[in-house]
Amino acid sequence: MAFATRRFILLNLRNLKYSLYSANARKNTLRHYSKALVSFKIDDKQNTRRLQTTNTYNKSVAFKLSDIGEGIREVVVKEWYIKVGDKVQQFDNICEVQSDKAAVTISSRYDGVVTKLYYEVDQTALVGQPLVDIEVEDAEEDSSQKSAIPEITKEVPKSEVKSERIKVLTTPAVRRIAAQFRVDLSNVNATGKNGRVLKEDVLSHLNMSSDKSNDIPQNDLSVEALSIPVTTGFAKMETIVEDKIVPITGFTKAMVKSMTEAMKIPHFVFSDEYDVTKLVESRENLKIMAKNRGVKLTYMPIIIKAASLSIAKYPIINSSPDSNCENIIYKASHNIGVAMNTPNGLVVPVIKNVQNKNIIELARELNSLQEKGSKGQFGFNDLSGGTFTISNIGIVGGTYTKPIIFSPQVSIGALGKIQVLPRFDSEGNVVKAHILSVSFAADHRIIDGVTMASFSNQLKEYLENPQVLLLDL
């Protein structure tokens, strides 16, 4: 009896020791497995999903939208150049964002694979918040963690695997064509930059020319006619419409800020008419010469240069008050802004140091700014630093207006359209004349009416007599 009891005790002690050893082993194993990256593999032949554990050598980094200056706290995502799954390197373009001052291209600071996009196009992104997640290589992983780990498989029905929809990088026009012809863009061979699907790619996929891209398939137009009895009567149709709320973003938001600030300025307006008949004749000759140099010459470069020469004689037009309006700062550079209507709204790009440039140079720079405006590619430097502004309302029509000053500037000029009107010459005869209507607004705290009228008269002399302008160049 004693022998049996002693054997039972020894057996229980052995089992207890084994249990403790097994518990420690399981604990170490779980600790080791917690460092593993779980990945899934699909076995098409067995219709199952395999769960495999492997060591992790990568880590995901949240790429945050850094401060882009000028006190900007939020931007609107206008276009993504990458998608989830794309490999990026340092300095690769990630997206284009639109602030209330300019469009900015954001580039990557990491090498890796994009795993998440935090915003859709036209959504607002905040400075300091994550923009994308990038899985980057972790060079500091200990080499001892590269040991093989047993493979654990788990049978999972294939039906539980959810397919991920691939987001294709393209434009709304191309999506319209794809939807019209029921084309899956993920099956189209993309030839554009960063895998972008172009219109030509879709047309090539459909084996059709661009002339037929606006055609609508006949199958979508087949409608069966039904016989409906018509009853004579009177009915009033009312169309139900709903209000639409659109957030104020981009250049519109910048205009809200600048115009709110401008309403603090006491404006006064001075208007006049310039007889620019001789300028019209001179410009026709100069336009041919400029074309031979590869430059498109409009009236605006000539007017900008004439305004700069007039500012040199009345420098207070090119000044601004300090923050407390206790001192007047006379600006040395003539940085003249030109208001432009772009697809993104009204913007005022600035031509710097006009006093040091000739008319051809001004025309070339103005053409470059107009091209940037049509593509929405203005940068901060293009839109900042203005000291005087000219707005050409004559492009869209109109003669006189009351322009609003862009703070901290103290004056602005607005040009109406050039009209052919009857006027009396020096001998009292009625002649055909080209009349330009101009309007100036000035900050009455800094500029008085006499100064504004004198500046306008000087500009008038230059534009009515181009020979005088040439003498002062």
Nearest CA to 204 out of 190, 221, 215, 223 is that of 190
Nearest CA to 398 out of 420, 412, 414 is that of 414
Whether residue 205 lies in the annotated active site: no
Assign residue 138 a region (left: φ > 0; alpha: ψ between -120 and 50; beta: otherwise): beta
Query: Catalytic pick from 111, 220, 322, 448?
Result: 448
Contact 56, 35 (CB under 8 A): yes
Whether residue 334 lies in the annotated active site: no
SS (H, E, C) the chain: CHHHHHHHHHHHHHHHHHHHHHHHHHHHHHHHHCCEEEEEEEECCCCEEEEEEEECCEEEEEEECCCCCCCCCEEEEEEECCCCCCEECCCCEEEEEECCCCEEEEECCCCEEEEEECCCCCCEEECCCEEEEEEEECCCCCHHHHCCCCCCCCCEEHHHCCCCCCCCCCCHHHHHHHHHCCCCHHHCCCCCHHHCCCHHHHHHHHCCCHHHCCCCCHHHCCCCCCCCCCCCCCCCCCCCCCCCCCCCCHHHHHHHHHHHHHCCCCEEEEEEEEECHHHHHHHHHHHHHHHHCCCCCCHHHHHHHHHHHHHHHCHHHHEEECCCCCCEEECCCCCEEECEEECCEEECCEECCHHHCCHHHHHHHHHHHHHHHHHCCCCHHHHCCCCEEEEEHHHCCCCCCCCCCCCCCCEEEEEEEEEEEEEECCCCCEEEEEEEEEEEEEECCCCCHHHHHHHHHHHHHHHHCHHHHHHHC
Q: Which two structure tokens, joined as six digits, stand for 99?
A: 């602030």
Q: How far is CA 258 from CA 95, 125, 140, 246, 433, in A?
A: 27, 22, 50, 20, 38
Please state, in angstroms and rounded to a whole number, the distance separating the CA atoms of residues 473 and 160.
78
What type of residue sits at position 86?
D
- Which sequence positions are flagged as catalytic? 444, 448
